[in-house]
Structure 1
């Protein structure tokens, strides 16, 4: 035991002294692990938040328990976990749930909440927006105690023409008791008299929403769901435990306060289940989870955050593995002379393995621990960025705990240990004499296993490239980006071979213009192909990964817009500030010269079928349209059936969706609409796929009642031949007096409902791309600095052999040019092929969409990184006297 402790202590002491003596060599590894720890911790925090965090309630702050409809659809899988898809629209509860909840013991009052979007226009026709980009919502005055709102002035609304405003909204609208305001809902814009002004306990209003209170009867009528409620707020009897506590409190409750089933949430859930409203249809929430019922985007934010952090974390982990493994392998490779000498003096392979592993774990452990706190700060910054671009709801709280930090440290340590073990494996297995020989002259080739693995990964990249031509257009970017990433991994594995071949080619061609310096640069690069590959890989990764990520999204977005506009034949497009009410469509149809009008009601549906991919649920973008107004407004050619029959209980599917679901004209397809309503319409047409209009078309009359705001996003307007376009546009614009916010444009102004989601997705990818690029650029720079500094003795020997500073500087310039050119060539090639295939698939043009200056900026920054990271340390080395440099460590 003592010998074991002594050996461990001596190993740690020796490793620490070695690290201190070689601080410069370990800088790249330290920074790579530090950055990796920051990113992995941040992804872990976001993933944990997506699983367990939420948004604190505002409107329901006075109700300790809230009942809402389940905002998801669930399908049971015989072998494996259930499949769940979130619903995009507000699901409703039957009004009878209020009575059922009120009868539960411990419930003092059960209040049915009525909530619907509304737009307020002040006396000067100025639209009043909700605070902080939130929502303006109408409610029944009976639900005011849920916050609670109390009157500051005036009286409650007593008739259908009266409204109570929250104080913050009244102040911004310049309205007081007795004033008249116009409020627009899905039923149109109507003047109301302000009967009173109310406020919550603190402040003049809620942070992210405005409240407009009508009489309960009027609110039910305006909501469009007179027999349903959005939620049930519960005010409990004094002393009633509302939720089952967790942790030690839960144990205390078991011994002193009864079982967890005694909590009010469980009693309410049991009572609703007895009424046929089980856990698949309703949710009973207490604490911070009440925000999921209040904010429609809360559950979606959790789902999006989980998905984004999981997929982004996978990319991050893969890149961290590549970068950390590359930097640590470089450190081990640069110490091959030292390892050979240790072997020559009888050091065993196990001892050398232990020494190198201990050094790596000390460096990686320190870097990983230091990266934890910045990782939590990075998660906060990413959360704020996601909210700013609209990916998640404002106010979504992070779940902060130790698990992400522990996972990040363990992953970084595991990566470091595996990287060092793989890099040192060959060096400690060969004979000492051969090791000494290889420490002087580097072997140009790499192992057979690495070569086979590299070609296998490139083969997988080729398969992904071929898949671009066969997958649906909406998902074609996935195999394209995967192809680029796999190609980069393959290039990294075959790096020494590729760089040696390119160096020899450059020496026989472009580098000739540098004369002797170019010849020497080519020879050095070919002989030191491992060193060159270690420097090229992160640079090529920067160019390839950044280009494929950015241009795949811009190409998909442009293809979506192009296909939407190509299918739109209507000369005019009518849009609203928050949407277009159904009565606007009726009014536009009556305008002189208008021959056809069709609304575009955007939503999402879930198909409950066993698809070709054997998925029980498949989510698709859907649009509600008016079949009577399709001619002259929208051109979606049908391969079978006819869109003219899209009325009543019918549906039209794109060719892609029809193949996935195995359905054709005349078949029934089981769908779940946006608010959870199940339907089984008959397929009347299969149309050609169009990214701009989704995969499912339904009658607008079917879709509108099952959307949250009951508004169309856009109206497509067709006119008679020879009609006066300006007169038509003027007649439509005249409607804005009764419908504030209406705008008339041509087909180039079409705003497909996917545009907002596409823009958010674009910004999301750009934000994540900047994070990854920052990490890769830092790792590239430190790796290049390390490789350049490690050549101190080599450059000093050249000077002692008669080379001048200018000649050596010229040689380094040639090597840097070769390094940058190789990185640009490999990075561009790995991105260009999949992007060209994607562009051909979506637009029939091999050139991907997007501004060319972005690619130029990526290349410029990469090349600049290479130049500065080589020339700056090389300049310092060349200023050192050759004899002093020869005494430096290698």
Structure 2
């Protein structure tokens, strides 16, 4: 059977070429994804801020929450918004540990220089600008390149890169913005780490005296000859988390470490969707290949081949194709990983410190995945072909049966039924979590569509064929008749179009739904006359809100400060966005659509207002108790005083801003909402305030709403990057499937030419058949995308009647139209290049 399988592979070139391409693309996709995933886990910042400290001690930056009970008890970790600081006595306890020579505490805080042009100077690449005590300069180490160390409270040392970009030099004066406000400081010196002018992802300012607060990090320098591993064990027993190597480098550059972690987490679901697509593309391609060989398999059965022998032959063919495709697939996976990495870095998904580290493991996983999926696809597709009797096989090869296999029908109906509870769950959960469920719903519906594709093709082909026949007369009639006679071939080709269209329409339509809803809710919610937002800074000093309150034309001021509130959703802890507001003024500047209770009662540390979607999911109402954890891990027991509607872009919890002060490391606000007195003009007064604090930008309510949309648009761009590549993978599979299906019909089209059809008529017939396939796939795929859009709309607004962004939907249709042209021209050029007699003489 192996010899027969290899012989078949050599003679049926087009069919196996299509399977080869499908497996190679899938292997490349898995290889690239796994390479990026392992690279993200292994990468660290290029320069370690703790490079001079072999050991770093900190508190665990995540909250550990117990879930379940009894034998199902487990623990889950949730990252904290406000990373905890070490106890006040931690320095002494670590210093007294055997083997420790020196302990260097470090507590980074926001500090930003104002340039000569009056604009704040951010860190390199837009990263943070952080202040440290001069003692912490030894952790990198930073050494003075010019000038001296800071000697007084009004002196500062800048890193060399920051000094160059700010136009500052020793002896000069710069304005420095911190959480305490803006003040002029003398530049005592310029420092840099060995061989560099600064850290790659952050600007560093060093002060002679920093705030006396518990440290966030302790750099530990061991004694000469001390064993670092044994010292790490002793330090852990003393309390805290001990970091070394890559972990310490990530902790020292949290902006890079967090982005590396985000990129790794981002690749997880994207890889799952890619693997899902690869399974169905390979299964569809092998299924079409076996379908095209119905007559060959029937003849084998007629001459005495047993079902087991047929299966062995098909499995051997699949192994040969999968193993042959693994080599080019893995070789293609590396440049594909480089392309994805460049896109991720260029769009801000990953930092430039993420470097590819190729190894044997991604190649092995990709090869094994391609082989396993190919074998599974062949076993499932060959089940009926190998079991049918010889005479029935010959009859079915001549006239394919019109019924659908019962197992496939039941599988499709089960998948279709499984989408319903997921949709209902997404509506119950609501909010952005409910929107995320739509991608799971789409995957289930895509599986149902592929399983039921023969039934869908049989239902939709007559209507699509009639439209084509009415538009093109003779060739349209031929295309319609050919499609009706080969529904299973149409279904196989249309499945690839369904997958690509569903994925593309879901990504575009759902993202637009979120952005539009965010902008609309922000426009309705913000009733302030002006909004102060940070410019090139992580936040506004708390003094900005105090200065705004003191202006004579101001009626009400409320700062907004986002943090997190960890509560259990469906039994699992989840960090939800919470917003700190001023209870006495929030009602004058915000209209969040209060349904019950009132925001005026939002005063003190024991009260909270919750969004309608979150309250509905948890069964909360005014007076209910909300238990969870604040952003620094402090347990909180709050009473619901209000339920509101417009939470998108605001958060699911509103808290008293003053009650958060003890749980925030720095007094920085995300925005300050200002309401003017009747007849007052605030522009001049707020302009003067912005001049005193250069990190302040003044916007009106409409501009602030657009800013909310642009922020979401940037985050959804990250999804577009990888989903776009998956859509491209689907597009290539569409071309591959259609070329594969048409190339095997060269004899059929040669007969058409012998009975009088011209080359142009044959080409038009192929194009119109492809159009029928595209229409069926587009209709089903768009329906899946619209179902996801309706689910997202229901989760966000409570209404299943979505707004369809026609311009984005037109992009999907245009993409399908281009593919139709491509997959029509390529096969047509292949089948008309031979003379009819020559084509008939060619081996099948």
Task: Settle same-fold status: TM greater than 0.5.
Answer: yes
Distance 1:471 1:669 in 2: 17
Please point out which of 97, 102, 108 is paired with 1:104.
Answer: 97
Say which is worse superposed, 853-862 or 198-207, in terms of deviation.
Answer: 853-862
Shift of 1:74: 0.4
Matches within 5 A, 1:421-820: 421-508=379-466, 510-577=468-535, 578=537, 579-607=539-567, 613-615=570-572, 617-650=573-606, 651-661=608-618, 663-688=620-645, 690-707=647-664, 709-723=666-680, 725=681, 728-750=682-704, 758-820=712-774
Say which is worse superposed, 438-447 or 801-810, in terms of deviation.
Answer: 801-810
Q: Does the CA contact (< 8 Å) of 2:648 and 2:796 recur in 1? A: no
The question of 1:240 aligning with 2:230 is answered no
Q: Does the CA contact (< 8 Å) of 2:743 and 2:830 recur in 1? A: no
Query: Structure 1 residues 380, 676: closer, same or farther in 2, change over 3 A?
Result: farther
Please point out which of 215, 218, 230 is paired with 2:216.
Answer: 230
1:8 corresponds in structure 2 to: none
Query: Structure 1 residues 132, 688: closer, same or farther in 2, change over 3 A?
Result: closer
Distance 1:195 1:814 in 2: 77
Distance 1:756 1:54 in 2: 30
Q: Does the CA contact (< 8 Å) of 1:236 and 1:242 recur in 2? A: yes
2:157 corresponds in structure 1 to: 164
Distance 1:881 1:64 in 2: 76
Distance 2:784 2:271 in 1: 22
2:234 corresponds in structure 1 to: 267
Q: Does the CA contact (< 8 Å) of 2:435 and 2:795 recur in 1? A: no
Distance 2:318 2:50 in 1: 53
Say which is worse superposed, 203-212 or 102-111, in terms of deviation.
Answer: 203-212
Q: Does the CA contact (< 8 Å) of 1:365 and 1:409 recur in 2? A: yes
Structure 1: 5+ residue runs without aligned partners?
1-10, 221-225, 244-262, 273-281
Say which is worse superposed, 432-441 or 669-678, in terms of deviation.
Answer: 669-678
Query: Structure 1 residues 124, 536: closer, same or farther in 2, change over 3 A?
Result: closer
Q: Does the CA contact (< 8 Å) of 1:151 and 1:196 recur in 2? A: yes
Q: Does the CA contact (< 8 Å) of 2:260 and 2:351 recur in 1? A: no
SS at match of 1:632: helix
SS at match of 1:652: strand
Q: Does the CA contact (< 8 Å) of 1:713 and 1:753 recur in 2? A: no
Query: Structure 1 residues 136, 887: closer, same or farther in 2, change over 3 A?
Result: same
Query: Structure 1 residues 50, 199: closer, same or farther in 2, change over 3 A?
Result: closer
SS at match of 1:743: strand
How big is the alpha-carbon RMSD for the aligned residues of Structure 1 and Structure 2? 2.5
Shift of 1:138: 0.7
The question of 1:115 aligning with 2:71 is answered no
Q: Does the CA contact (< 8 Å) of 1:465 and 1:483 recur in 2? A: yes
Q: Does the CA contact (< 8 Å) of 1:602 and 1:753 recur in 2? A: no
Please point out which of 41, 48, 63 is paired with 1:58.
Answer: 48
Matches within 5 A, 1:829-840: 829-839=783-793
Shift of 1:662: 5.2
Question: What does the per-residue CA deviation read over 1:384-408, in whole Å, with 9 as the maximum and x for residues that have no partner?
Answer: 4334433444424556543333222
Shift of 1:307: 3.4
Please point out which of 262, 281, 297 is paired with 1:304.
Answer: 262
Distance 2:789 2:645 in 1: 24
Question: What does the per-residue CA deviation read over 1:101-143, in whole Å, with 9 as the maximum and x for residues that have no partner?
Answer: 1111111100111211111013452432322222211110111
Shift of 1:870: 2.7
Q: Does the CA contact (< 8 Å) of 1:623 and 1:694 recur in 2? A: yes
Distance 1:93 1:754 in 2: 35
Matches within 5 A, 1:303-382: 303-382=261-340
SS at match of 2:649: helix
Distance 1:659 1:836 in 2: 19
Question: What does the per-residue CA deviation read over 1:555-607, in whole Å, with 9 as the maximum and x for residues that have no partner?
Answer: 01221222122111111111121121111111111112101000011121212
The question of 1:15 aligning with 2:12 is answered no
Distance 1:479 1:175 in 2: 51
Q: Does the CA contact (< 8 Å) of 1:623 and 1:697 recur in 2? A: yes
Query: Structure 1 residues 636, 829: closer, same or farther in 2, change over 3 A?
Result: closer
Please point out which of 5, 22, 31 is paired with 1:41.
Answer: 31
Query: Structure 1 residues 662, 398: closer, same or farther in 2, change over 3 A?
Result: farther
Q: Does the CA contact (< 8 Å) of 2:179 and 2:668 recur in 1? A: yes
Please point out which of 810, 823, 827 is paired with 2:781.
Answer: 827
Shift of 1:14: 3.5
Question: What does the per-residue CA deviation read over 1:712-745, in whole Å, with 9 as the maximum and x for residues that have no partner?
Answer: 111110111222x2xx111011012321132212
Q: Does the CA contact (< 8 Å) of 1:149 and 1:199 recur in 2? A: yes
Q: Does the CA contact (< 8 Å) of 2:201 and 2:256 recur in 1? A: no
Query: Structure 1 residues 720, 641: closer, same or farther in 2, change over 3 A?
Result: same
Say which is worse superposed, 596-605 or 31-40, in terms of deviation.
Answer: 31-40
Query: Structure 1 residues 813, 684: closer, same or farther in 2, change over 3 A?
Result: closer
Shift of 1:824: 2.2
Distance 2:249 2:403 in 1: 60
2:131 corresponds in structure 1 to: 138
Shift of 1:853: 3.3
How many residues get paired?
Answer: 838
Distance 2:348 2:580 in 1: 24
1:864 corresponds in structure 2 to: 818
Say which is worse superposed, 728-737 or 465-474, in terms of deviation.
Answer: 465-474
Q: Does the CA contact (< 8 Å) of 2:23 and 2:370 recur in 1? A: yes
Distance 2:823 2:99 in 1: 70
Shift of 1:353: 1.4
Distance 2:126 2:439 in 1: 34
Query: Structure 1 residues 733, 227: closer, same or farther in 2, change over 3 A?
Result: same
Query: Structure 1 residues 422, 644: closer, same or farther in 2, change over 3 A?
Result: same
Distance 1:46 1:513 in 2: 48
Question: What does the per-residue CA deviation read over 1:445-490, in whole Å, with 9 as the maximum and x for residues that have no partner?
Answer: 2211212222222223344445554331323323433333333322
Distance 2:164 2:713 in 1: 33
Shift of 1:328: 0.7
TM-score, normalised on structure 1? 0.89
Shift of 1:637: 4.0
SS at match of 1:883: helix
Q: Does the CA contact (< 8 Å) of 1:500 and 1:525 recur in 2? A: no
SS at match of 2:793: helix
Shift of 1:366: 2.1
Distance 2:129 2:576 in 1: 28
Say which is worse superposed, 323-332 or 335-344, in terms of deviation.
Answer: 335-344
Distance 1:653 1:876 in 2: 63
2:186 corresponds in structure 1 to: 193
Shift of 1:885: 0.7
Query: Structure 1 residues 350, 706: closer, same or farther in 2, change over 3 A?
Result: same
SS at match of 2:63: strand
Say which is worse superposed, 332-341 or 321-330, in terms of deviation.
Answer: 332-341
